[in-house]
Amino acid sequence: MNKCDIGIYGLGVMGQNLSLNFASRGFSVAVYNRREADEENITNTFITTKCQGKKIIGTRNLEDFINSISLPRKIMLLVSTGNAVDEVINQITPFLDVDDIVIDGGNSHYRDTARHLSQMESQGFMFVGCGISGGAEGALKGPSIMPGGSFQAWDKIKFMFQAIAAKNEDNNPCCEWIGPEGSGHFVKMVHNGIEYALMQLIAESYDIMKRLLFMSADEICSVTSEWNSGALNSYLMEITRNILKVRDTDSEPLIDNILDCAAQKGTGRDISISALELGVPVTAISESINARLISTMTTERSLAAHEFINTTQYAGDRKALLKVLEDALYCSQIIVYMQGFSIIAKGAIEYKWDVDLTQIARIWQNGCIIRSKILKAMCASLKKNLVDNVLLNPTFKETIKQKHSGWRKTIMIAITHGIPVPVLSSTLSYFDGICSEHLPANLIQAQRDYFGLHGYEKINASRGIFFHSKWDR
Ligand code: NDP
């Protein structure tokens, strides 16, 4: 029997769809899923229901799986994050040969990936931590792929990964080498953080339309459809429009029957922690996670609702509010992407990764969840490892100048009526902070020196010279 080009371990949503994608590009695939007692044979079911006539072979046990793959082996793990990855690496390692390549395609923490990399390289194997975005459909038809780790592995997997990746408008694959260690998973973590914030921004706009303008799902659908055909065109806007069209069994819009309690997995939390560790303000991302946490406080919300706020219909010009809301969404999205790129830039400096921001913006242009017209425009303005120029770039500078009063107006109206807009407003505060030549941090420094003798710098002295005062004298 001919050996397979690649092995996929883990036949959940991603494993199955990526196997089919590899096979559709002409690669032969060996697949394996653990079999717990009493569990249905997932491998068999997948092979018999979805793989007829395709170059995908099911394997019964680990040894069989590993032996079905041609040397040097390329083995992709698509298992749950955390302990599962450690367990699987430990299971397969005894069967590997020197120069085999193990690729973790899940959402592992970048520090775990760095640990796995040194563990594997010390035994003569190669390891790649590979962020993949695009959900089930992307995995099947072409995701955005962010690989990093053992650079020697790139030469051997590049043609396969670029073949299965989405292509951008220039027909270039949305898959490029990110850098060493856990950089691929770091960039994927940031991608997911941006995703959280963009989703929350659309949700806040929906809330303003629903609770302030009393618009029906169909009316909101028309607005999102219009936005999606203009400057706010994005994958997330497109799926929002599609979601708003769907009816439940009672013929009512399904969206109106869904409980307003949002779940999350780990990557959003991970980026907030990493941002604090690296000293980078990613306020939009952190606020979007907080907003999901508040949404889960259903009992508390139900008790407090109507005690303090009684949202009434907006009495002002409805058309004008929709226009400024569109402007607000545009400006806030720029800040969300900018915060995402700024943590990648800081991470690259801190961890000594030579990461190319323009390349990352390019591989996010198709296949992934955060693809958008704004991101496409931003790609041209990002210099290698430099984000300072996003706001000062002529395209964005002029647009923000035109739109930022609408941004403020939207937030004022929402706040006055008791509609929470944590990401719309935190992005504006970030913008105002960045644009303030003077901030009240002088008072913070004085307070720190008062109680902790931390010292302060003075305006007319050189930077780095610290002064103390006897404040309570
Ligand atoms: P699923 O939950 O659909 O599948 C998880 C897979 O992991 C199953 O095959 C499961 O096997 C296997 N698994 C779990 N624990 C173990 C273990 N201890 N040992 C061996 N195998 C184990 O997950 P997805 O396919 O959705 O996700 C896979 C990875 O990809 C995750 O890291 C996820 O975060 C990431 N990802 C997911 C995306 C998505 O849209 N779904 C998008 C991008 C990344 P079993 O069936 O026996 O339980």
Is residue 390 exposed (0-12), middle (13-18) or buried (19+ Cβ within 10 Å)?
buried
Q: In the predicted model, what is the mean pLDDT of residues 56-68?
A: 95
pLDDT over threshold 70, residue 342: yes
pLDDT of residue 392: 82
Cα(239)–Cα(220) distance, integer angstroms: 13
Q: Is the pLDDT of residue 473 over 70?
A: no
Q: Which amino acid is at 453?
A: L
369 lines ligand 1 (CB under 6 A): no
CB-ligand 1 contact for 80 (6 Å cutoff)? yes
Residues 6+ apart with CB under 8 A from 351: 181, 183, 186
Among 8, 45, 78, 102, the mutation site with the greatest number of ligand 1 atoms within 8 A of its Cβ is: 78
β pairing state of 74-77 and 6-9: parallel
84 Cβ below 6 A of ligand 1:
yes
| H runs (alpha helix) in 352-393 | 357-363, 373-381, 389-392
Radius of gyration of the chain (CA): 25
> 80 C-alpha vs ligand 1 centroid, how far in Å?
4
Q: Tell me the mean pLDDT in the region 377-382.
A: 82
Sheet containing 74-77: order of strands: 56-58, 29-32, 6-9, 74-77, 101-104, 126-133, 144-149
Distance 18 CA to ligand 1 centre (A): 12
Greater confidence, 397 or 175?
A: 175
Q: Return the percentage of the chain with pLDDT > 90, whole number.
A: 89
- The mean of the pLDDT values for the chain is 95
Return the pLDDT at 219.
98
Tell me which residue has its CA closest to atom 23 in ligand 1. 12
194: CB partners within 8 A, 6+ apart: 285, 336, 337, 339, 340, 370
Tokens representing residue 128 in the block:
């790649």
Question: pLDDT tens-digit profile of 238-287?
Answer: 999 999 999 999 999 999 999 999 988 877 889 999 999 999 999 999 99
Q: How close is the Cα of 384 to the center of ligand 1, in Å?
A: 34
* Averaged pLDDT for residues 199-211: 98
Nearest atom (ligand 1) to Cα of 105: 30
Question: Distance between CA atoms of 101 and 202, rounded to whole angstroms?
Answer: 40
Per cent of the chain over pLDDT 70 is: 97
Tokens of 367: 């296949």
Segment 25-39 mean pLDDT: 88
Q: Does residue 19 register a pLDDT over 70?
A: yes
Residue 88 tokens read as 């699987």
Residue appearing with tokens 């930022």: 404
Cβ of 15 less than 6 Å from ligand 1: yes
Average pLDDT of span 426-453? 96
**Residue 387: its pLDDT value, please?**
55
Question: Is residue 143 within 6 Å of ligand 1 at its C-beta?
Answer: no
State if residue 88 touches ligand 1 by the CB under 6 angstroms criterion: yes
**Cβ neighbours of residue 364 under 8 Å, at least 6 residues apart?**
133, 144, 174, 191, 370, 371, 375
